[in-house]
Amino acid sequence: MPLTPDRLPARAGLGLKPEHYRDVLETRPDIGFFEVHAENYMGAGGPPHAYLEAVAALYPLSLHGVGLSIGGAGPLDTAHLRRLRALIDRYRPHSFSEHLAWSTHDTGFLNDLLPLPYTPETLARVSAHVEETQQAIGRQLLLENPSTYLVFAESTIDEIDFLEAVASRTGCGLLLDVNNVMVSCVNHRLDPHLYIDRFPVGRVGEIHLAGYDETTDGAGDRLLIDAHGSPVRTDVMALYDHALSRTGPVPTLIEWDNDVPDFATLHAEAMRVEARIAAEAARRAPLRRTG
């Protein structure tokens, strides 16, 4: 079984953006952790590593992968795995996560996270890739539920059952992206609260929140886009409250990757989440004292 690293603190965290390096190092804001995309730091050195090393000396760090193509039909890129292992050995992050998606075909790489049919064949392939990744990096992986805009006619396994099966087979954890839940459920006319109720919350090591964009599809129905370019919507925050009532306090990341605002705006967004985590911890405190 791959090593399960120390968990992130059950606080709110932010994605670390290059435009905010100096803000963070000069002001040392009260924040639970920072998360970076692993692929942005796979070079050998330079200013990005100098800044990341300085930040990692002050705050817990999480790595989030976007390029492994866990669901790809072909083999995993062993060179990518070696670079990932070197990065993990260098920074010793508290967690590493990747997406239930694919982004490669033959030798080509597609700059998107594409959905998968949920079939026994896909389950076997994803499980094998998760196991290979965990062995290569010497760490547990957190697998993230996707945001989707279509369903496959050939799917024979429910998404939650699929995630639970991968985790059961491989020992991986799960990353619960609450915004992805809202996006997918609205797009597919499902109840997001029921999705959360069925989710295997005991396997959740981290939660993600983000803002979505909204448009309409060809039939005039609501269509949500996982855009990561705005504050967390009110309905997503309410769904997050529901998720916390089931998971308990869990480290929670605000994702804001497009139209990135100033650091003060991001920090205020994190503090909204921090207050909710603290409230859930306080709600559970009497249970711990009397249980």
Please choose, from the candidates 256, 163, 263, the residue with its C-alpha nearest in 3D space to the C-alpha of residue 205: 163
CATH of 12-290, one of 3.20.20.150, 1.10.760.10, 3.40.50.300, 1.10.10.10: 3.20.20.150
Angle at 99 between CA 97 and CA 104, to 5 degrees: 125
Please give the backbone phi and psi of residue 62, each rounded to the nearest 5 degrees, phi first. Answer: -125, 140
What stretches in the chain show pLDDT beneath 50?
Answer: 1, 109-110, 291
Do the beta carbons of residue 69 and residue 107 sit within 8 Å? no
State the pLDDT at residue 109.
47
Instruction: For the chain, state the CA radius of gyration.
Output: 19
Q: Is 202 helix (H, G, I), strand (E, B) or coil?
A: helix
Sequence ranges of the domains in the chain: 12-290
**Cα(155)–Cα(115) distance, integer angstroms:** 11
Which pTM was predicted?
0.94
State the pLDDT at residue 108.
53
The encoded tokens of residue 202 equal: 């005991």
Q: Is 27 helix (H, G, I), strand (E, B) or coil?
A: helix
The encoded tokens of residue 150 equal: 């279509």
State the pLDDT at residue 110.
47
CA distances (Å), 61 to each of 1, 18, 52, in order? 22, 15, 9
Q: Cβ–Cβ contacts within 10 Å for residue 15, how many?
A: 21
pLDDT tens figures, 33-56: 999 999 999 988 899 999 999 999
State the pLDDT at residue 288.
60
State the pLDDT at residue 118.
96
**Cα(67)–Cα(290) distance, integer angstroms:** 46
